[in-house]
Amino acid sequence: MRYKKLLRLSLLALVAGCQGMLPQEGAAPVNPGGDVALIFNRTSTVWFGIVRSAQVYMDDLKVCVIPNAGNCTVNIPSGKHTLKVDSTFSGSFGVFSQNYQLDSGKTYRFVILPNESEMVTNYMSYYGIAEATYYELNKNAISSNNGDFTMRPAK
């Protein structure tokens, strides 16, 4: 009978320990406020196998975490900003990053979708050496489009 009690306690400890191993989104998104509205719509990526959330950053501040086929609206101050899109635990070294001049009082709409060309490159490189080299050479670049997601203005 003692072994059953020990087995139950071991199973409980195992389950409790595994709860902390689930993927985390990191810091919660922040809406900095301002006179410019940004609307992000994410396409469904189930067919591409990307089920992780898309994380949107404005000048390195996380403003949105968007699940598959989800959307997000955020207000920011006008001016020149860098918008970045990355995915949680993407396994790739890349990210979408682009500078935008955002005018006061306007609304900007963006579509976030899978970066199909990058997915092909990631699967073709067995050891990931090409991605790591590209990342190191371009980690300080202002614009890049080599992550799991890409983003474009909505039409």
pTM here?
Answer: 0.68
How high is the pLDDT of residue 81?
Answer: 96
Q: How far apart are CA 126 and CA 112, in angstroms?
A: 27
Give residue for tokens 């900095």: 32
DSSP helix/strand/coil, 153? strand
The rounded mean pLDDT for the chain is 75
Torsional sign, CA 139, 50, 89, 99:
positive
Q: Which tens digit of pLDDT belongs to each residue from 131-143? A: 555 555 555 555 6
pLDDT of 61 reads 93
pLDDT at residue 108, as a whole number = 97
% of the chain exceeding 70 in pLDDT: 57
Distance CA 149, CA 55 (A): 10
Q: Indicate if the pLDDT at residue 23 is higher than 70.
A: no
| Mean pLDDT across 82-104 | 81
pLDDT for 21 beyond 60: no
- Find the mean pLDDT for residues 78-102: 82
pLDDT for 96 equals 86
